[in-house]
A and B are shown apart, each in its own frame.
Chain A
Amino acid sequence: TAMAAPMTDAHRRFLQVLMSHGIMEGSEARKLHRRCCEIHKVYYAHDKLDDFVSTINSHLQPLFMQIRKGLSEGDGRAHYALVNLAETEITKMASDYTENELELFRKTMDLIISSEDGFASSTDILNLADQLKTKKMKKKEAEQVLKVFVEDKWLSERNGEYTLHTRCIIEMEQYILSNYQDMARKCYICHSLAIQSQVCDSCGIRMHLPCVRKCFRAQTDPRCPHCNDCWSCDIP
């Protein structure tokens, strides 16, 4: 478009570094923004990161890519990730993994999304390995593949349980909401996809843990914002 500001080497360097990290936390991104502007002697203003990113995005748009901002389900902090906008399938992953690895990922995602707390146990996932339709996988191989998914930031691991990494959620939120319609839940407070969440025992609404924290901040008697019954979960 005629109005798009031109890309400078500062923008390109930012993009290269973000791309190699996959995802970056807000403060990291702000530091990187400053460094890139310093290195290439480009005008820098500390509160202009979003404008800087918009410029890059206007040039990424014809490529169906975008730098998107999302909140981590763990600490609620903003993160920036480079995502693929094409709605069809898990396209970025498709170039990176084999058929049966992708199938394992999809089945793991099924487990995670259909679970109560957004986690799938290592045991449950490994049991899927020899039921794969594309090509069966031995448990040892599946363990390695899971490790790669974690390294590549599609999954996060905690105490032998797996959930979707923030990067994965930022990238695949639309895909998940449209493909898992009934199973995928949204947070009552922020209306974004909620993978890890707390549930109200009475009315079933869900909230992200950081959203729960915000909602019940300094309340001695936390009550569900929807049905007003006592909130039974521990406030994180």
Chain B
Amino acid sequence: MSQRKRSRGLGPSQGGDGDEDFNLSPTPSHSQVQRNLERRSQDQINQKVSELVQFLLVKDQKKIPIKRPDILKKVIGDYRDVYSEIVNRAGRTLQQVFGLQLVEIDTKHHIYILTSDLPRAEGENLHRDNQTAKLGLLIVILSFIFMKGNSAKDGAVWEFLRRLRVQPGERHEVFGDVKKLVTEEFVRQKYLEITPIPLTDPPEFKYQWGLRAAKETSKKDVLRFVAQIQKKDPTFWTSQYNEAEA
């Protein structure tokens, strides 16, 4: 079976690391999984596959990255011995029916997201109306970070937002608690990564693109966005342009 075609392995890890929450016995080999499969009926396995597909779809609608211990606890249960088969089938189903790819964005902690196989269409609103505004804010922040060379200090980011009349202290009429949205929600959804800068007092933070941002948009798109706003050609910013085209 050629299920290793896709980027990262979807099956159990080679070691027990990162699974403190759920002690896995030694990873079953491929032939063991096949033998374990024979103990279950087709219907039972199909049922688990469809439960996993639904679980992944629901979690992903909220842009919550999916952790393996959750999958094991909430969906797989007693079928742990055929986990790899269920996950592989769910992945194939997601591709064939939904055009979605199950991607492991964190191979150490086994965290997954779904990304679309389909090319993003011009002006397509893939998100519900109340999410669009949030994504607009996110794109603005991602652009700022990219234009600053892929990393920006928190002070610079918030000063930039302040100029756009988005303040961390005030309750924004569209975004609500902006500080929470940016530093908690966007981080949890893996759109932004915020890390403390060592040896700073008062403590400063570094803002970078999160793992999901890298998968769902591209530097090219972001540069094009900035160029549109500033009514210039993307080539105006030579180093960012070269980086985006690389």
Contact = CB atoms under 8 A, between A and B. Distances in A.
B59 A13 contact: no
Contacts of B117: 12
A159 interface: no
Contacts, number: 62
B118 A95 contact: no
A13 B58 contact: no
Contacts of B62: 96
Contacts of A96: 58-59, 62
B126 A16 contact: yes
A12 B46 CA distance: 21
A92 B58 contact: yes
A63 interface: yes
Given A12-B99, A15-B98, A95-B55, A62 B128 contact: no
A75 interface: no
Interface stretch (A19-27, A110-118, A169-177, A180-188): A19-27
Contacts of B121: 13, 35, 39
Query: Chain B CB within 10 Å — which of A59, A62, A95, A151 has the most?
Result: A95
Interface residues of B, number: 26
Closest 9 CB pairs of A and B: A12-B99, A63-B50, A95-B58, A59-B97, A95-B55, A20-B126, A13-B118, A39-B121, A96-B58
Contacts of A17: 124, 126
Contacts of B97: 7, 12, 15, 59-60, 63
Question: Interface SS of chain B: helix, strand, loop or mixed?
Answer: helix
A185 B33 CA distance: 50
A44 interface: no
B39 interface: no
A91 interface: yes
A62 B50 contact: yes
A43 to B, nearest CB: 18
A35 B126 CA distance: 13
B14 to A, nearest CB: 29
B50 A22 contact: no
Contacts of B99: 9, 12-13, 15-16
A84 interface: yes
